[in-house]
Structure 1
Amino acid sequence: MVDKTIFPKCDQCGDVGCKLRSPGKFPRCPTNVSEHTLEEIKNRYQDEDINKIMQAGAETERGTIKMIDGVPTPIRPRISEIMAFARSMGWNKLGVAFCLATRDEAIRLIRVLEANDFEVHSIICRAFSITKGDLGIPDKNCLSSPLETVCNPVYQAELLNEAETDLNIVVGLCVGHDMLFNKYSKAYTTTLMVKDRMTANNPVGPLYSPFFKGILEKK
């Protein structure tokens, strides 16, 4: 009987044996602390929809990596991967949910998608111009006042649902707003970029820079 109070801690594993098909060396390996069997897990992927996505994902990954001088080398960016994946799935109607702050990037993306013959529906975060006051957000949590407009991720998702998009692409939605969009989107969702106001949208940069040590260390 597996102790359900013990959870996997893959970050503490030293050899990543699962990559070499030899998991279980580390006590907190999922293989050792989960009641799920390998056969049960493999069977989940026999579901037609799940398997189709896994097949398309593998095809996309294989088309992105090319052996050059014996080295596996990426040959296309994430935008191209998304388009290749969509084609593999037979998806042509794409939705783009973007933030006002990343409007320029969204426009550039949409032009690329349309140039590649995709039908694109786009919704900005400020659609319908609701205000923070409308949602009961207090003065102290407003940048200027409760009269400022606020992001509207639920209806970004609803409008793309009405358009019956095959795949939605998130461009720069705020933390929290992206969660609501993902929750209410009926189509599968992928994220092209996230917003990080401090790092020019490079959110992992602080993990590699000593300049952020004082910000990130435990208070």
Structure 2
Amino acid sequence: MYSCANCVLRGCSEGNLEKTLPNCPSKEKNVQEEAKKLYLEEENYKIAHNAALVEAEGYGAKTRVEEIISFAKKCEYKRIGLVFCIGLINEAKCFADILRHHGFDAISVLCKNGGIDKTYVGIDNESKIPGECDEIMCNPIGQALLLNEQNTDFNIILGLCVGHDTLVMKYLKAPMTTLAVKDRVTGHNPLVAIYLANSYYKKKLM
């Protein structure tokens, strides 16, 4: 098993494979050679090349919103799909306006599209959100199929729930990235829980 999260050597980041753990994935020559070949495929090369440029140009200077715009321009994407949660509809409108300002076609699809009740996936009343009247299920598969139908060049995920993002990523055909993820407790900043894992959140998480 690989254990990069616990490595203190990090020789891979220096190109020094001698300074690595015995189970370092950098030593998996067959896998690494396969990965290198895949980078030479046209779309992969374009994405990797432009991602490296965006990283260098925006390092510590540009927000993720700015980097997404820069990346999409460098890749010459035109039709941008935006899959978002109804809880972030104001943020989605603002972001779609920004995309249009930069010359993109912004095609947005709300999570509640289709108006499907949660009973369709076996959720009874006892399993629904207490006190909530909105029990229309999120429809990430529908979001993905609708954007596929629109032939988007690039898709952006904004604030989808855990699991719903899994399904939209499973079915979207065009390349994608995430602007923000859902975390109702931390204001959509899930790393807060990690930063506090050894202090205020210790009893909760550990």
**Which of 49, 57, 76 does residue 51 from structure 2 map onto?**
57
Task: State the identity %.
Answer: 36
- Contact 1:94-1:167 at 8 Å conserved across structures: yes
Q: Give distance in 2, aligned partners of 1:169 and 1:101.
A: 16
Q: Give distance in 2, aligned partners of 1:129 and 1:92.
A: 29
**Which of 152, 163, 175 does residue 150 from structure 2 map onto?**
163
Q: Give distance in 1, aligned partners of 2:167 and 2:133.
A: 21
Q: Give distance in 1, aligned partners of 2:146 and 2:34.
A: 37
- The equivalent residue for 1:23 is 17
The AA in structure 2 aligned to 1:79 is: V
Unaligned runs of 5+ in 1: 1-6, 66-73
The TM-score normalised by the length of structure 2 is: 0.91
- Contact 1:8-1:28 at 8 Å conserved across structures: yes
Q: How does 1:42-191 map to 2 (within 5 A)?
A: 42-65=36-59, 74-144=60-130, 148-191=135-178
- The equivalent residue for 1:4 is none
Q: Give distance in 1, aligned partners of 2:35 and 2:111.
A: 38
- Contact 1:56-1:88 at 8 Å conserved across structures: yes
Q: Tell which deviates more after alignment, 174-183 or 204-213.
A: 204-213
Aligned residues, how many?
A: 202
Following superposition, the deviation at residue 139 of structure 1 comes to 2.4
Between structure 1 and structure 2, the one with the greater Rg is: 1
The TM-score normalised by the length of structure 1 is: 0.86
- Contact 1:157-1:185 at 8 Å conserved across structures: yes
Instruction: Please list every run of at least 4 consecutive aligned residues from structure 1 whose deviation after the TM superposition is greater than 3 angstroms.
Output: 37-41, 144-147
Report the CA distance shift for 1:27/1:198 in structure 2 as closer, same or farther (over 3 A): same
Following superposition, the deviation at residue 44 of structure 1 comes to 2.4
Identify, as 1 or 2, the structure richer in helix: 2
- The equivalent residue for 1:70 is none
- The equivalent residue for 2:2 is 8
